[in-house]
Every structure is written in C-alpha cells, then in structure tokens.
Amino acid sequence: MEIGFIGLGLMGSGMAANILKAGYPLTVHDLRKEAAAPLIEKGAGWAETPAALASSSDLVLTSLPKPADVEGVMEGPNSLTAGFRKGAVWLDLSTNAVDVVRRIHDRLGERGVAFLDAPVSGGPSGAASGKLAIWVGGDAAAFNKCRPVLEAMADRARRVGAIGAGTIAKLVHNTMATTMNHAVAEMMTVGVKAGMEPLELYEAIRSGAMGRMRSFDNVHRRWLAGNLDPPTFELQLLHKDVTLGVELARSVNAPAPLATLARDDLTEALNRGWGKRDAQSALLLKQERAGLSPIAEPLDAIEEVMKRS
C-alpha cells in the first residue's frame, strides 16, 4: 500500500515517522519542506503538491491545524481532489468540524474516494511513541483497509461509528477535559485565596472521592507548576477545538453553559496574545481575577504529592 502524508507539525511528524518505521512506502508533503527533512533522510519521498502526493497514494493521511486547512488541500488545481486515484482512502487525523467532514465525505464519495474522519488524542509525545487514541468515523470496509496503518501509529485505534463520529468523540473529549480543568483551577484558586497552600490543597482533593478517579491530574505538570512555555498544545488550537465543541452543542440544541464559559476564558486568553503559549495558560485568569500571583509549585514537590496520594 502506497501511503501519502500531509502535515508534518508536532503531531504529524511523529505519526508519519511511525508509519515509515513500520516499513510502509511513504510520500510526504508540507508547506515547509524543511519539516519533511528528517523523514526524507529516513527514506520518505517528497511530493511538491497535494495532487502529486494523491496521484501516487492508495491511502492519504492529513494532520492539519484547522477545518479550513483540510478544505484547502482538497480544492484547486494542485489539490488532493485533482490527484486522487479511484478507490483511494483519505484518512483525516485533524480535529475538524462535523459539518465539514460530512461534506467532504459526500463530495469525495461521488468520485469513488472514501473519506474517514480520524482525530487523535495523546499529544506530541503520544504521536512519537505510538501511545495514541484514534477515533474513526466512516465506512467499515475503508476502516478495515487502513487498520494496519492506524495500528502502526496508535495503540488504541477504533472505528466509533458513521462519518462524523470520530470528530464528535474528539470534540466531546477536548471540550469536557477543558471544562474540568477550568473548574479545578477555579476552585483551587478559591482554596488558595482562602488560606491553603497550593500543594497541600492539591494533595487533599486528590484523596477525595473524585480525586481518587484522578479527575484533577491534567493540571499538575503545567498550570500547577507554572510551566506554560514552550507549549505541548497551543492555546489557539484548544480554542479552536472547544469552539467547535460549543458549536456542536448549539447545533443539536443542547445547552452547554460550563463549556461556553470555558471557551470564553480561552477567547480572553487568546485576545491577550497567548495563542502560542500552552493551552493551560488560560487558567492563569483564575488567579488574576482573584488578585493572586500565578501558582508555580516545584515540579519535584508536585511529583511527591502524586506518589503519596
């Protein structure tokens, strides 16, 4: 199976490297050819355009920042659509919008190309190590055709339903996680302002009923440690994901007030110019509004709390 991969950022580069490591013939493309250099050195081919990549590929994978970027590689004289072979599969690993993936699916289906939405969860470290979840929506036969490639990139790749289902799962996951982080930071800020030391409070809540489920652990390496640069996941990308999640809720007439409030904090942080900082930088707004300095506990002390509780 000839494979093409477009989008070699923090996520795409790791996933593409694992495909190459598994022995698949791989052709790559990115807006910046220098991003492809490490893969080319290891044996990947280079395509000058998406069309050239699609014309030589049975399976095309894309890992791109925004829905507009995914649609951008689909249209035009040098686009994927201009190069796709009949019977090819396009697996989009981006976090997209449900209406966009359904629209692409319908348009490409008329041309004999299967489109699957397959957003991932696990961050850059997971992309590099293969410790990823990939949630796939779309045709079962197309999924089974590319399952071995998915398993070369991820330890948890599964089809979760019809087209759009993977995107719904990802938007629910990211929006829910963000809302929880904002609730944790908000009430931790209350507790600190009320007189507790941050680490003592964090250890206490981790021993409670919800804390034992480890619902609070996502904030410890970044917000609690004051460790927000360089980012593992940029705030501007999380803002996009949560905005799509809130729009999804609105589109199905499901009220989501807490998620909307979390999105509004992300928007404020984005307007502060924090878009390229870590996504948890938005949690600093909780301390600022309470008149507190940002919390920044030593990471080794936090790790001791994690071991004890």
Catalytic residue list: 170
Half-sphere exposure in the Cβ direction for 27 (13 Å, CA): 19
How many Å apart are CA 58 and CA 286, to the nearest integer? 49
C-alpha span between 294 and 266 (Å, rounded): 17
Q: Which of 163, 142, 165 lies closest to 90, judged by CA?
A: 142
The per-residue DSSP string of 24-92 comes to --EEEE-SSHHHHHHHHHTT-EE-SSHHHHHHT-SEEEE--SSHHHHHHTTSSTTSHHHHPPTT-EEEE
What token pair was written down for 60?
């095309």
* CA–CA separation, 51 and 43 (whole Å): 21
CA-nearest of 111, 118, 148, 116 to 134 is 118
How long is the chain?
Answer: 309
Q: How far apart are the first and last CA of the chain?
A: 48
